[in-house]
Amino acid sequence: MAENKLTKMQSAPQGKTTTASQPETPEQTSKKSERNFILICILLFAFMVGAFWTATRNDFFYWYGDDPGYVTENIHVKNGMTLEGIKWAFCNIGLGNWHPLTFLSHMLDCQIYGLEPWGHHLTSVLLHAANAVLLFVVLRRMTGSACRSLAVTLLFGFHPLRVESVAWVAERKDVLAAFFWILTLLTYVHYAEEIKVRSSKSKKFYVLALAGFACGLMSKGIVVTLPFALLLLDYWPLKRYEQKNAGTLLLEKVPFFCLAIATSVITFMAQKNWGFVQTAEKYSLAARLENAAVSYARYVGKMFWPMDLCGYYPHPGKWPLALVLFSVTFVLGISVSVIVVRRTRPWLPVGWFWYLGTLIPVIGIVQLGDVAMADRYSYLPMIGILVALVWGLEECTKHLPYRTGIGAALTAAVLFSFIAITMKQIGYFKNSVIAWRHNFEVTGDVDVAQHALGMSLDKQGHTEEAIKELQAVLRSRPERADVQFNLATMLQVRGRMDEANHHYSEAIRIAPGHVAARGNLGLNFWSKGLTNDAIVQFQEIIKLNQDFNAYNYLGAIMLANGNLDEAIKYFGKAVEQKPYDINAQINLGSVLSDKGRFDEATQHSQEALRLDPNSTGARAFSDYLEKKKMSR
């Protein structure tokens, strides 16, 4: 009977057997793990896009001309992907930086979306989501820990400090540079793995890593610190110091350092030529070092408590001594502590020195502008802090009961709070007026935030409100020549000429070399019949060796006064200064024809047509000359 039952059980259909299922083979386990990994990457990308999706509803942002300079008013970018535009991107310094790939990305957006802001924002959102996925991939590849790598990625990607880089079109350089930074890390990890087994593929991955680094440098100069980050990764988690000595690893990075040094020199000279590098007279070395120490501490504070975030944090000039001492103690204390535990907890020094090192170009030792710090500067440095934090917490809690559940719950709570703050912060970048109003509320800064708020109101057509904001700035800071000038232009648009001239004069008094103020004031004087006063302003511009079409205007004044010889002299100077100026060629030719010097006039007419055969003015002048010759 027992044998009969056994026979029946063995002959039963396979789907109804009660025996235990067979264990998975290593190959099946590997395939399942790979499927789960791909699913996580897809979900991570989708959630990241979802969290930042509201940025696509935002407008372009006015920050001293950045969005206009990068996109909306840049003729090379607005034309889309053209050969001339590509050549311009690689051969010119744009807004104080050499980052051709950034400009190419904006050109591609214009090619696809035109000047619709949603499309430009969408590209930045997609790049940030791609960065999050890449970061997860490279951390998992280096460390072998999917859970901790995912935790770092989620905290990095959803953090409110990311908003400025993602929701501000002009900061495309941040997300684009980070994309190539992380891609370089991935190829470098492959290189380290291949060279460990002496594979011939190692050379290919080394070249790819170097190419990725070059692309990053052509996106934003902050990538210059990547060779130092690679040396840190060699220590942990790649542990290459166990197979090679430090000298060999350093020699391996020489091509990276050469590219970094060349880019640093180009960037510094470009920033200096554009007037962004502040002199020691404004910020002493001591003031810059103090701000660096305080900023290191402030960035960490905002990582843990991301409140009162804004686009512009003004440099105070001098920080309170107590805050400086606390910040120095904070930075040095952590630095010493992580060095002490480097053998047992290598992720702590790697993460901390990653943070310190990647911030060096923007920490303020070389002071650029009047900012003390900026949220966007934390994009790459924060990765190091998060690695140290997540791996450190894992180490500290490994013996606690229910640590997996508690850790997951705490991580979820933190992420939900981050996402809520992030979405609110994106709203502050809805448009320039909202952004600068929020900035002014957070910092109370009159010099920049309130001034920029006024300029933004004017761009939206609220000129009367803008005038009130700039007048408020001048009540506190009457020596701001730029504010005096901008207020004057707004008053002029409203027809309040006497007030406008007063503020133009104030701008000139504060900054005698303010060419635009002198030029506008000269034109206003001329329109009121104050010819001598107008001549004085244009002659001062010439003495300053600056360009405001001063020679053309002086020629026009002399012509209006019937002084043809003086008009010819000044129009001749205008042509000499700018031979490519069609109007200057026509003006000179016209006065020469009035003097009966038709051959010379014809030469300038032909030159104007050569410069632009489609010019209506050049063709009209040519026809006029022909008729005049025939009537002689």
The string of pLDDT tens digits covering residues 190-243 is: 999 999 999 999 999 999 999 999 999 999 999 999 999 999 999 999 999 988
What does the pLDDT read at residue 27?
81
- 325: pLDDT strictly greater than 50: yes
Place of tokens 């091509």: 255
Mean pLDDT, residues 423-438: 96
CATH number at residue 592: 1.25.40.10
What pLDDT band is residue 12 in, cutting at 50, 70 and 90?
Answer: very low
Domain assignment present for residue 293? The answer is yes
What does the pLDDT read at residue 406?
84
Total number of domains in the chain: 2
What pLDDT band is residue 16 in, cutting at 50, 70 and 90?
Answer: very low
Minimal CA–CA distance to 85: which of 212, 115, 270, 94? 94
User: Given 399, 427, 455, which residue is the final one in a domain?
Assistant: 427
What does the pLDDT read at residue 599?
87
Contact between 412 and 389 under an 8 Å Cβ cutoff? The reply is no
Looking at the structure, do residues 417 and 560 belong to the same domain, yes or no? no
What pLDDT band is residue 11 in, cutting at 50, 70 and 90?
Answer: very low
Domain with 619 in it? 549-632
- 312: pLDDT strictly greater than 70: yes
* Range in 23-37, 106-120, 160-174 with the lowest mean pLDDT: 23-37
* Range in 13-22, 58-67, 353-362, 446-455 with the lowest mean pLDDT: 13-22
Domain assignment present for residue 47? The answer is yes
Domain assignment present for residue 535? The answer is no
pLDDT tens readout for residues 363-411:
988 877 789 999 999 999 999 999 999 999 999 888 888 888 888 888 8
Place of tokens 């034109």: 523
What pLDDT band is residue 10 in, cutting at 50, 70 and 90?
Answer: very low
Q: Where are the alpha helices (DSSP H) in 53-99?
A: 66-67, 75-78, 83-91
pLDDT tens readout for residues 487-507:
999 999 999 999 999 999 999
User: Given 397, 427, 457, which residue is the final one in a domain?
Assistant: 427
- Confidence (pTM): 0.85
Domain assignment present for residue 286? The answer is yes
Domain assignment present for residue 16? The answer is no
- 545: pLDDT strictly greater than 80: no
CA distance 175 to 167: 10
User: Given 427, 448, 478, which residue is the final one in a domain?
Assistant: 427
Domain assignment present for residue 15? The answer is no
pLDDT tens readout for residues 174-193:
999 999 999 999 999 999 99
Q: Which residue has the higher pLDDT, 346 or 280?
A: 346
CA distance 349 to 118: 41
Contact between 498 and 488 under an 8 Å Cβ cutoff? The reply is no
Domain assignment present for residue 18? The answer is no
What does the pLDDT read at residue 225?
97
Contact between 420 and 159 under an 8 Å Cβ cutoff? The reply is no
Structure tokens at 12: 């039963």
What does the pLDDT read at residue 32?
87
What does the pLDDT read at residue 4?
47
Domain assignment present for residue 525? The answer is no
**DSSP letters spanning 429-488:** TSSHHHHHHHHHHHH--IIIIIHHHHHHHHHTT-HHHHHHHHHHHHHH-TT-HHHHHHHH
* Range in 48-62, 239-253, 263-277, 357-371 with the lowest mean pLDDT: 263-277
